[in-house]
Chain A
């Protein structure tokens, strides 16, 4: 379990660092296989999140850990990027837009999770969060890698999380955490579908042509 995540993260990091002319790595992988790897990583993260969310919601205590808990969405929670999208709009997304939406979402979610990491009480929770953040970082790099290999520009970095006003009380803070985990879960479900669609539309042959065109 642990080693798998770290391995993937290292691989994604090494193979996708823009500074390295890691052409051998990308050439061998091809965007098709990178998309497959990114898809696999989202499934792995989804699995990891289930355990993490269970532990975290128990730490927050009731009503957050109750299965029927279905609170209304408060306006302040909108700062966390939402995976929810109109069906036809989602279908019509270009490959670039689809990848960019994923990249932006996970970059921001990662920032918020890191803030969370600094605040939680128990050692077990800190360890799980740290592990999850590492895997999530791997996912962001993996998506970035796919975008680069397809010739798309990476979206601008996420805004600093301190831009949003902090929660005024303990309960509201917990609500923020609850929604953060929910959005993360929904994004991972959505990404599986996004990458399924990309898999079909980007066969490995296309990438070879692109690499040749860039003179590699």
Chain B
């Protein structure tokens, strides 16, 4: 007959060859490989200080006839350590979910049982198909003064363990990060970036339960983030970006009144609008000749210097043009 046995890592295991006498001649194999006689004590197989590597199918054959006398599957593992449990409401006010895992593997099958108690009532946490080790609960009542107590028990063939979480309805609210974060340059504005995003799709009712947002941004070349907190709206224009520098931008969300901030959204990159260097060739030539004579005092010509000159020049011209048009319009009115 087939057996199965579970043993702890580091234990000493003695396998008997079924009903065979101690002094019978036998051969043990593991996963098809013969086991050396040095591990035998008569017909008993002795495994000292077993490791996970020694798990497998063990067979015992009678010496001469090679009749199979005994077989067992050995699983070497550990009893479960205290499991890690986390509960969170990313879809307030619909309900919450709990997810769990073991901090270290046991190498043998584990069974989890979760219980949720609210005051005197026991609630059913429905297991999710995917991901595993997760279940969800729907709130029956809102604004409860009574805490929820969630107990997770983990059991395997070598032992059991458990952990408990007790929390208020409001304490576990944490939305998912905002979605579809987009950052775009603003034409003709070298220091602006327009950022927009959407409420996380898991948040069911942003009308009655509005979210507020936290935006952080920095140029790639610097380590310091700049932060903006926004109490409504799903867009924001950054107005103090360094011209021409690539930025990294992220957004986080939080219920307006309760709970904690979400994780940061996926990062987006954007660079503010820069003017096309139209007169680059002529400007560059002029700057180069000037730098040749005053090289010790002037920095080598960069695109920034060229751009600045071009922009200022065209800007001034534009102002003159507009002023002229306005003057003309007024004079027409007074004719």
Inter-chain contact B142/A85, CB cutoff 8 Å: yes
Pick the contact of B210: A84, A85, A185, A196 (CB < 8 A): A196
Which of chain B's residues have a CB closer than 8 A to the CB of A68?
Answer: 166
A90: contacting residue among B142, B207, B256, CB under 8 A: B142
Contact (Cβ within 8 A) A182 B145: yes
Q: Which residue of B lies closest to A67 (CB)?
A: B166
**Interface assignment of B222: CB less than 8 Å from any CB of chain A:** no
- Answer whether A196 and B120 are a contact pair too, CB < 8 Å, given A82-B145, A86-B140: no
Chain A neighbourhood of B77, CB < 8 A: none
> B321: CB under 8 A from chain A?
no
By size class, the interface of chain B is 20 to 34
The docked-state distance in angstroms from the alpha carbon of A137 to that of B145 is: 23
Complex: how many Å from CA A183 to CA B93?
A: 19
The main secondary structure of chain A at its interface with chain B is helix
Contact A192 B145 (CB under 8 A): no
Interface size band for A: 20 to 34
Q: Is A70 in contact with B166, judged by CB distance below 8 angstroms?
A: yes
Residue of B139, B146, B166, B208 touching A91 (CB-CB under 8 A): B208
Q: How far is the CB of B151 from chain A (nearest CB, A)?
A: 13
User: Do A84 and B207 touch across chains, with their CB atoms under 8 A apart?
Assistant: no
Given A91-B208, A189-B257, A193-B208, the answer on whether A72 and B145 have CB atoms closer than 8 Å is no
Q: Which of B141, B146, B257 contacts A192 (CB 8 A)?
A: B257
Specify which of A182, A186, A187, A196 is in contact with B208 (CB 8 Å cutoff).
A196
A214 at the interface (CB under 8 A from B): no
B143 at the interface (CB under 8 A from A): yes
Q: Does B28 contact A (CB under 8 A)?
A: no
> Judging by beta carbons under 8 Å apart, are A85 and B143 in contact?
yes
* Contact between B208 and A72, CB atoms less than 8 A apart: no
- A84, B143: Cβ atoms closer than 8 Å: yes
**What chain B residues lie within 8 Å of A43 (beta carbons)?**
257
The residue on B at minimum CB distance from A179 is: B145
Which residue of chain A has the shortest Cβ distance to B258 in the bound complex? A189
Q: Which residues of A contact B (CB under 8 A)?
A: 43, 68, 70, 72-73, 82-87, 90-91, 179, 182-183, 185-187, 189-190, 192-193, 196-197, 200
Please indicate the chain A residues that have their CB under 8 angstroms from the CB of B58 in the complex: none
Say whether B225 faces chain A, with CB atoms less than 8 Å apart: no
Indicate if B119 sits at the interface (CB-CB under 8 A).
yes
Bound state CA distance, A179 and B149, in angstroms?
18
- Identify the 7 closest CB pairs spanning chains A and B, nearest first: A192-B257, A190-B143, A83-B143, A186-B145, A70-B147, A182-B145, A87-B142
B119 touches A73 (CB 8 A): yes
- Say whether A83 contacts B93, CB under 8 Å: no
B145-167 Cβ-contact flags toward A at 8 Å (1 or 0): 11101000000000000000010
Residue of A nearest to B208 (CB): A197
Report Cα–Cα, A200/B149, bound state, in Å.
Answer: 35
Closest residue to B120 on the A side, CB-wise? A72
24 contacts between A and B (CB under 8 A): A43-B257, A73-B145, A84-B142, A84-B143, A84-B144, A85-B142, A86-B141, A86-B142, A87-B140, A87-B141, A87-B142, A91-B208, A179-B145, A185-B145, A186-B143, A189-B170, A190-B142, A192-B256, A193-B209, A196-B208, A196-B210, A196-B257, A197-B208, A200-B208
B311 to chain A, nearest CB (A): 43
Q: Are A200 and B145 in contact (CB under 8 A)?
A: no
| Bound-state Cα–Cα, A66 to B207, Å | 36
In the complex with contacts A189-B257, A197-B208, A72-B119 CB distance below 8 A: yes
Q: What is the chain B residue whose CB lies nearest that of A197? A: B208
| 13 further contact pairs, Cβ within 8 A, besides A73-B146, A84-B143, A196-B208 | A73-B119, A83-B143, A84-B141, A84-B142, A84-B144, A84-B145, A86-B140, A87-B140, A87-B142, A190-B143, A193-B143, A193-B209, A193-B257
CB distance from B88 to the nearest CB of A (A): 18
Q: B144 contacts which chain A residues (CB < 8 A)?
A: 84, 186
Closest approach, in angstroms, between the C-beta of B30 and any C-beta of chain A?
50
A16 to B142, CA, bound (A): 31
- Interface residues in B173-219 by Cβ distance below 8 A to A read 207-210
Q: In chain A, what residue has the closest Cβ to B138?
A: A87
Contacts of B257 in A (CB 8 A): 43, 189, 192-193, 196
